[in-house]
Every structure is written in C-alpha cells, then in structure tokens.
Amino acid sequence: MRITIVNGFFLPVPPVSGGSTEKSWYQLGQEFAARGHAVTNVSRHWRGFPASEEQNGVRYLRLRGYDHNRELWANLLADLVWSWRVYRNLPPADIVVVNAVALPMWLGRFRPKAGKVVVMAGRMPKGQYKRYNHLARVLAPSSLVRDKLVAENPRLAPAIRITGYPINWQVLRQEAVAQHPQLPALSPGEITLGFVGRLHEEKGLLLLADALRLVSQSAGLPPWRLVLCGPADIARGGSGSAFRGRLNNQLSAYLRSDRFNIIDPQFNERVLAGFYRRINIFCYPSLAEKGETFGVAVAEAMAAGAVPVVSKLECFSDFVRHEQNGLVFDHRSPDAAAQLATSLERLIRDVALRERLAGAAKEEARRFDYPVFAEALLADFAGLAHH
C-alpha cells in the first residue's frame, strides 16, 4: 500500500522536539515501511532538516509550519493555513492519515487520489467532526473519545475504532538503557515518584504538590524523591516559565531541595526509557476533563514497570484499573489531595502491593507495542483501500 501520514503544524518528524503524535506516527511509519509499504511522512520544516529526504524506506516531506500559540484562535488559523499547504503537496496514495483539524473537512471530497482518509482523534473533539463527512476511518484512543465523537457526529459511528496509542514496549522493558544526564543518583532503598509530560496547570501538578506536602508529614516512610520531566515553555505545550517557578516554589515549601528535581524534557528514546525505568510510582494527576484522550506517558511508564497513580478521568479507564494494575483517585473530590497522598503513601510503604501492581501494569501495556499496533492498523487499512 501507499500510505501518507500528515502531522500537525508545529513540530518536526523525526520527533527531535517531542510530541506524542509525531513520535507515534514516526515509529508507525517505520513499521509500515519495514513491511514493504510505501510511506510518506509530512511534518513541519525544522532547522537542520532538508525539505525532503528518504530514511529507512520512509520519505519525509517537510513544509513551512508555525509555533504553537497560547491562543486557540491563532492555532486554528495556523492549522487552516497548514492544511491548505499540505493539501497542495500531497502525493497519490491508498491511505492518508491526517493529524490536523481543517484538512479532513475537504480532503476526502476534493482529493480522492490522496487516499482513503483516516483521522486519529488525538485531541478531544471540539466541533470539527460535525464537518467531517468523507472519512474512511476514525481512530479513537479511548472509549471516552469514541463516545464524544458519536455525540458530535452520529454518522461517523460505523467508521470509529478504539485503538489506544502505540508505545515502544520492547525498549521500555529493557534492563540496559541510557541514563538521563540530569537524573540524580539513586540512594539505597529510595523510591522514585515520577511524572513525564507537559508542565501545564491542567496536568494537576499543583495538586500533586499539595498531596506531597501531606506525604512529607507522614512518619516512618522509606526514603523517596520526586522527579518531574517535561517542557514548561508555551511553544511546546507547557504553561510557561512562571508556572514552572510557581511549581518549584510550592514544592520547595514542603520538600528539601534534595527530595525533588524538575528536569528538562528528553527526546532520546533510550534515555527516556531509562528515566521511566528509574520510576517506581508514576504520578499523573491530570485535571484535563476536556483534554486528555488516552495517556501515552502513563502507558509508557507501565511498560517500564512503574505503578500508575492517575486521576479519575474516563480516558484512563480503558487500561488503568484501580487495585488491579494501578491506583485511581477522585480528582473532583474536595479532598482530592488527601486521596492522592493516601495512594502515594500506600505504594511507598507496601513493597508487595507495588510489585503486584507493577507486574500487572507491564503486561497490560504490552498490547500497545508498536509491532502489534502496526499490524492491526495495516490489516484495517488494507480493507479500507480495497473497499
């Protein structure tokens, strides 16, 4: 098959500057090419990258894009211009996977030679799916997103498949991985609580800081530390340097400086895997009721052997089950910080509980491994292409 993958307007592929969507479709494109398919991957032009090149059987086409903006209207305008630019440069294909907002509104109708249109609903629908009428497939990362899509456009229901998101399970489970250069040395018997993702208010990091204030007051705990890893700058989806400073100050009020670290994002896959493998308890207390669609970082941490502690967002319910392979707390409750603190303290104290949940979490995450995920997509694409 000929498969085109269209990414968004503000990050490059290969994913040298992060981005879960870019990372996922970069790896999937390589999986498709390794199985003999002709793959074109379209992304933003980036300094040091040529406008067009071929690597490992994948053709990379890079077009002028834009930085992410704090204002929604500005991002939508950038997406519209980007979608038109991509439209004019698309090669003929059997399948075209689109990770943009505006492009699916007209692509299937006016450029059928570009291929059957497949959309990955990487973000919660915000009205755009009402205008999508020529889609062959919609890939929903969770049952929550599926339900939102159907509510927005019932005509799409037959085209929707719940897929989750792919992860590199094989690399994440390896013992021998590289160390993050900013990761502090591990003390004997020390438990690491970790977070990987955008340093944004909606991720619940201030709630986590409140919970850790309570944990820090508990006596008799084994040694533990917190390590947060991710971008704070707005261009990469964070809440900005002022928020990072506020978070640092709040943690500093409760924890000694040697008990927590906020480190720079890491985009080298093996170094990031090493970071995940250092984590015993993965904290993802997201408050993004309208933003979270799956939780790639949660699945990656599970694959690496960490126990997930997540908020009660519906998107996590497809793969994190309370007391079976992780712990879930009610982020909507008035005592959310106390609930989160109780969950973290239980896992810090109870080695047997931690080991049981970690083992179950690792096996659960296996179904998202890239080769497994790619094979399922290709089988589906083949059916679409010949329909």
Q: What average pLDDT does the structure give for the chain?
A: 93
Q: Measure Cα distances from 332 to 235, 280, 285, 328, 335 in Å.
A: 29, 25, 11, 12, 8
In the prediction, which pLDDT does 178 show?
A: 66
Q: Which domains does the chain have, with CATH numbers?
A: 2-166+369-385 (3.40.50.2000), 170-367 (3.40.50.2000)
Dump pLDDT digits (tens) for 321-340. Answer: 999 999 999 999 999 999 99
183 and 278 Cβ atoms separated by less than 8 Å = yes
Which letter does DSSP use for residue 180 in this model? P
Dump pLDDT digits (tens) for 63-73. Answer: 999 998 888 89
φ, ψ for residue 83 (rounded to 5)? -60, -40
Number of residues assigned to the chain: 387
pLDDT range class, residue 186, cuts 50, 70, 90:
confident
Q: How many CB atoms lie within 10 A of CB 310?
A: 27
Residue 271 has pLDDT above 90, yes or no: no
Give the residue, 186 or 366, on which the prediction is more confident: 366
Which residues lie across from 338 on neighbouring strands? none
Query: In angstroms, rounded to a whole number, what is the distance separating the alpha carbons of residues 83 and 81?
Result: 5
Residue 207 has pLDDT above 70, yes or no: yes
Dump pLDDT digits (tens) for 338-386. Answer: 999 999 999 999 999 999 999 999 999 999 999 999 999 999 999 999 8
68 and 10 Cβ atoms separated by less than 8 Å = yes
Report the predicted TM-score, pTM, of the whole model to 2 decimal places: 0.81
Distance of CA 222 to the CA centre of its chain: 31
Cβ partners under 8 Å of residue 355, min gap 6:
none
String of DSSP letters for 211-274:
HHHHHHT-TTPPPEEEEEES--SGGGT---HHHHHHHHHHHHHHS-GGGEEEE-----HHHHHH
Cβ partners under 8 Å of residue 73, min gap 6:
none
If phi > 0 it is left, if psi is from -120 to 50 it is alpha, else beta; for residue 241 that is alpha
298 and 213 Cβ atoms separated by less than 8 Å = no
Query: In angstroms, rounded to a whole number, what is the distance separating the alpha carbons of residues 326 and 353?
Result: 10
